[in-house]
Structure 1
Amino acid sequence: MPSISARIPDEDEQALAEVAALLEEDKSTVIRKALREGLSDLRVRRAVERYQTGDISTNEAARIAGVSVAEWLEIARERNLTTQLSPDDLETDAESARDL
């Protein structure tokens, strides 16, 4: 497993120690979990932004978010997302969904 070194502000180190104690885990484990969850959230956020503006299709949004099309559709439903995609784009997405 590669190693990464980073400097963090004192208040973040204190928050890290508090969360580690709360979860009863060491700080390295908490950092790995936080990084994994944070990266996932960032991917979803970017996919939401691009999907909402109509830049990308459902399939592309799912790819960017790192989830299946079915999971993306659930995310979109939960967030009441609308898109500016053309009918052709929507038909392509529907065909892909049917193939699942």
Structure 2
Amino acid sequence: MPSVSARLPTDEKEELDAVAELLDEDRSTTIRKALREGLAELRVRRAVERYQTGDASVAEAARIAGVSLGEWLEIAHERNLTTQLAAEDLGDDAFTAQEL
């Protein structure tokens, strides 16, 4: 497994240690979990932004978020996203959904 290092301000290191203790895990495991969850959230956030501005279709937003089309629709529903679909997008998304 490759190694990555990062410098943290004292307060963030203390928070990391507190969460690691709370989870009864070592610091490395906690960092990996936080990174994995944080990266997933960043992908979803970017997908939401692109979808809301009309720069991404439903299928493209799902790809950006790294989730299935069904999972994206759940995310969109949970976040009360308004649809940005044009008629041609529906055809593209239907085609993409069939391929999935």
- TM-score, shorter chain, exceeding 0.5: yes
Question: Structure 1 unaligned runs (5+)?
Answer: none
2:25 aligns to what SS in structure 1? coil
Aligned to 1:57: 57
Q: Is the 8 A contact 1:53 1:83 kept in 2?
A: no
The residue type paired with residue 16 of structure 2 is L
Cα contact 1:19–1:30 (8 A) shared by 2 = yes
Count of aligned positions: 100
List gaps (5 residues or longer) in structure 2. none
Deviation readout 1:23-62 (Å, 9 max, x if unpaired): 0000000000000000000000000000011111111101
Q: CA offsets per residue over residues 45-90 of structure 1, 9 Å max, x none? A: 0000000111111111010000001100110111111132311102
Partner secondary structure for residue 94 of structure 2: helix
The CA distance in 2 between the partners of 1:77 and 1:91, in whole Å, is 21
Runs of 4+ deviating beyond 2 Å: 94-100
Please give the alpha-carbon distance, in whole angstroms, between the structure 2 residues aligned to 1:6 and 1:80: 36
Residue 75 of structure 1 aligns to which amino acid in structure 2?
I
**The residue matched to 2:28 in structure 1 has which SS?**
helix
Report the AA paired with residue 85 of structure 2: L
In the alignment, the residues of structure 2 paired with residue 7 and residue 88 of structure 1 have an alpha-carbon distance, to the nearest angstrom, of: 47
Kindly, what percent of the aligned residue pairs are identical? 69
Q: TM-score, normalised by structure 1?
A: 0.93
Q: C-alpha separation between the residues in 1 aligned to 2:19 and 2:45?
A: 24
Amino acid at match of 1:92: D
Q: Aligned-pair RMSD on alpha carbons?
A: 1.3
Could you tell me which amino acid in structure 2 is paired with residue 53 of structure 1? T
